């Protein structure tokens, strides 16, 4: 019998999809290694136009869920999407023309905004800065094993590259007996428990900082005034001469 190959909607087989996924991951790693920031669409850029089906689908989703009542709120999105697709296929031409007109106007809107837009279309993704005082995540059992045995593998294979060493460690980890692997897994669990405690403590400290009373405006103003120790020697001498009635000050 001839073997059958499953093909997706876009015409690619599972093997091709896997290859594409690996290629995308490789490109992401290359960009990260080169210091290229991940990009996203600029929020200020013109919003892309919608198709007639998207306009119809948005309204039909709401209509179907409302008609189904409580069950509609719990129904899977895939089930509702299938119902929307069937409704679109059975839509009369005169009703479909209404949604196509909406799509046409939306495309005109996009083209008009696009012609006058001068800003960037894609901007770097701003990643949140990690608090340097926050606890570090625990490493996995495999990384614990790798850290313990990496130097030994390098000594045994001095000509091996870092990638070769990593592959060797991965192979050794797969062949590691269950009792030996359990040692590293127990270490990982211990580190995870310590991490949970440290995170809870860190969050409590951060929350306590937010709850501290903030100084009022008069207190801040008083704190900004110079103290006696901060005054200059000339100012102190001037004040003492005024109190003593120095004749050199009042001729």
Looking up residue 115, the CATH number of its domain turns out to be 1.10.30.10
The pLDDT score that the predictor gives to residue 189 is 95
> Looking at the structure, do residues 153 and 199 belong to the same domain, yes or no?
yes
Nearest to 165 by CA among 176, 177, 157: 157
> Looking at the structure, do residues 146 and 175 belong to the same domain, yes or no?
yes
The pLDDT score that the predictor gives to residue 232 is 47
How many other C-beta atoms can be found within 10 angstroms of the C-beta atom of residue 138?
Answer: 19
* Residues in the chain where the model's pLDDT stays below 50: 1-9, 228-238, 241-242, 246-251
What is residue 248's DSSP assignment?
T
> Looking at the structure, do residues 145 and 206 belong to the same domain, yes or no?
yes
**Residue 158 to residue 168: CA distance in whole angstroms:** 13
Is 236 contained in some domain? no
The pLDDT score that the predictor gives to residue 246 is 47
> Looking at the structure, do residues 151 and 202 belong to the same domain, yes or no?
yes
Angle between helices 162-175 and 141-156 (to 10 degrees): 120
Is 117 contained in some domain? yes
The pLDDT score that the predictor gives to residue 104 is 96
Is 57 contained in some domain? yes
123, β-bridge pairs: 40
Split into its structural domains, the chain has a count of 2
Structural domain boundaries enclosing 149: 141-210
Is 245 contained in some domain? no
The pLDDT score that the predictor gives to residue 109 is 96
The pLDDT score that the predictor gives to residue 131 is 84
């Amino acid at each position: 019998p001839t073997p059958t190959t499953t093909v997706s909607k876009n015409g690619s087989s599972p093997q091709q999809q896997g290859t594409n996924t690996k290629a995308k991951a490789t490109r992401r790693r290359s960009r990260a290694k080169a210091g290229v920031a991940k990009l996203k669409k600029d929020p200020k850029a013109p919003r892309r136009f919608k198709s007639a089906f998207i306009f119809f689908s948005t309204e039909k989703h709401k209509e179907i869920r409302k008609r189904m009542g409580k069950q509609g709120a719990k129904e899977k999105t895939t089930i509702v999407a299938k119902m929307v697709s069937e409704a679109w296929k059975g839509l009369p031409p005169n009703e479909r023309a209404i949604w196509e007109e909406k799509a046409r106007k939306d495309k005109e809107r996009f083209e008009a905004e696009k012609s006058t837009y001068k800003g960037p279309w894609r901007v770097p993704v701003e990643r949140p800065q990690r608090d340097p005082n926050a606890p570090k995540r625990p490493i996995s059992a495999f990384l614990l094993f790798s850290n313990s045995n990496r130097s030994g593998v390098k000594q045994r294979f001095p000509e091996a590259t870092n990638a070769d060493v990593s592959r060797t460690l991965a192979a050794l980890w797969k062949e590691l007996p269950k009792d030996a692997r359990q040692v590293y897994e127990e270490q990982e669990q211990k580190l995870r428990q310590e991490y949970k405690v440290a995170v809870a403590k860190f969050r409590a400290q951060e929350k306590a900082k937010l709850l501290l009373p903030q100084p009022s405006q008069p207190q801040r103003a008083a704190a900004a005034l110079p103290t006696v120790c901060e005054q200059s020697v000339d100012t102190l001498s001037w004040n003492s001469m005024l109190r003593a009635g120095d004749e050199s000050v009042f001729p």
